[in-house]
Amino acid sequence: MIRIIIILLLLLSGLFVNCLHSQEVSSKGLEQISEPLVKEFIDILASDKMRGRSAPSIEADRAANYIAMKLKEFGIRSVNGSYFQPIPFCAADLNIENCKFILTKGSINHAYDLKENFTPLFNTGSNQVQGELVFAGYGITAPQYNYDDYKDIDVKGKIVLVMKQEPRKNDTIATFFEGKKETLYSGIPYKIRNAAEHGAAGLLLVTDPLHNVAITAQGYLWNSLYMKGKTNPTYNVCEENANIPAVQVNRDVINELFGSVDSLRTLQRKIDESMHPVRMEEKTGMDMSIIISGPQSMAIPMTQNTETKIQFSEVE
């Protein structure tokens, strides 16, 4: 017992000394931080010469090299001998020639135009799918609200049509969900993920007609589709895209499927009133091909420092 107490006291005393040393080092570092010094860094990194430091660009490299130089001057240790860590960035874009959207009713095929009638969403997967079309309301499964658009329907291998937003989105009193306050269930990434988790092969998104007049194929502003490749692509951290093909459709597609936008509006009103799924009776086949061209990849050097706390101060 005495030996245990002595060892414990030694450990505590060592911890106390280390804490004092850390506080001393931190205090010295804080004393060196001043408004003129911070303003100097901001003036350089936010100067017109840096041109926003967009990635990739010479200016971004210049800013990174400046930060690395300052970290070295401060005596901050590098990681594996370098202040830079390569991070793969990708810019995905549409392969326009291979993007198609065809509805089949009976023996009649109706092909729709990219951008005018349908536009792939940012979170779309890249694949060619065929299957029966199934209406799945808002595409939401929310156990805590006792609400499930996928209840008692089998969407495995099928393409689901879902509306944006969530039920009773304009309720001033949050009797269901959170009323006017949107929850995560209204997000497009959630709707795509939920459809995939239920086994759907693809997803069509339509603007909810009960609260909107314009039913357009807004989708995503793809560089090849809207900018004709004239602007730099948008880069994001490379990651595997396991999503299903997903597009937003306009009123022409809705008119073909439901007879009119008013018919879909009626279905939406029934869902909001009953808080139970409503089905689309007529069966429609679909052939959808959404191909994402091979992503342009690059490696951007990023400064990395795992031991430094950064303090921000407002400079007028």
Query: Are 101 and 167 part of one and the same domain?
Result: yes
Pairing between β-strand 118-120 and β-strand 246-249 as defined by DSSP bridges: antiparallel
Summary mean pLDDT of the chain: 79
| Cβ neighbours of residue 285 closer than 8 Å, sequence gap 6 or more | 103, 104, 105, 130, 131, 132, 133
Q: Please report whether residue 25 resides in a domain.
A: yes
Q: Residue 218 is encoded by which pair of tokens?
A: 């807004």
| Cβ neighbours of residue 24 closer than 8 Å, sequence gap 6 or more | none
- 21 exposure class (CB count in 10 Å sphere: 0-12, 13-18, 19+): exposed
Total domains in the fold of the chain: 2
Query: Are 149 and 277 part of one and the same domain?
Result: yes
Query: Are 169 and 192 part of one and the same domain?
Result: yes
Query: Are 144 and 118 part of one and the same domain?
Result: yes
Q: Please report whether residue 305 resides in a domain.
A: no
Query: Are 107 and 230 part of one and the same domain?
Result: yes
User: Structural domain of residue 30, as residue ranges?
Assistant: 20-86
Query: Are 227 and 282 part of one and the same domain?
Result: yes
Query: Are 164 and 195 part of one and the same domain?
Result: yes
The confidence score (pLDDT) of residue 240 equals 63
The confidence score (pLDDT) of residue 168 equals 87
Q: Which of 189, 199, 153, 167 lies closest to 273 in space, CA to CA?
A: 167
Query: Are 176 and 239 part of one and the same domain?
Result: yes
Query: Are 59 and 118 part of one and the same domain?
Result: no
Last residue of a domain, one of 30, 65, 86: 86
Q: Please report whether residue 315 resides in a domain.
A: no
Torsions phi, psi of 279, nearest 5?
A: -105, 155
The confidence score (pLDDT) of residue 80 equals 83
Query: Are 81 and 111 part of one and the same domain?
Result: no
**Segments in the chain below pLDDT 50:** 1-22, 294-316
Query: Are 100 and 218 part of one and the same domain?
Result: yes
Q: Please report whether residue 8 resides in a domain.
A: no
Query: Are 178 and 262 part of one and the same domain?
Result: yes
The confidence score (pLDDT) of residue 131 equals 93
The confidence score (pLDDT) of residue 233 equals 66
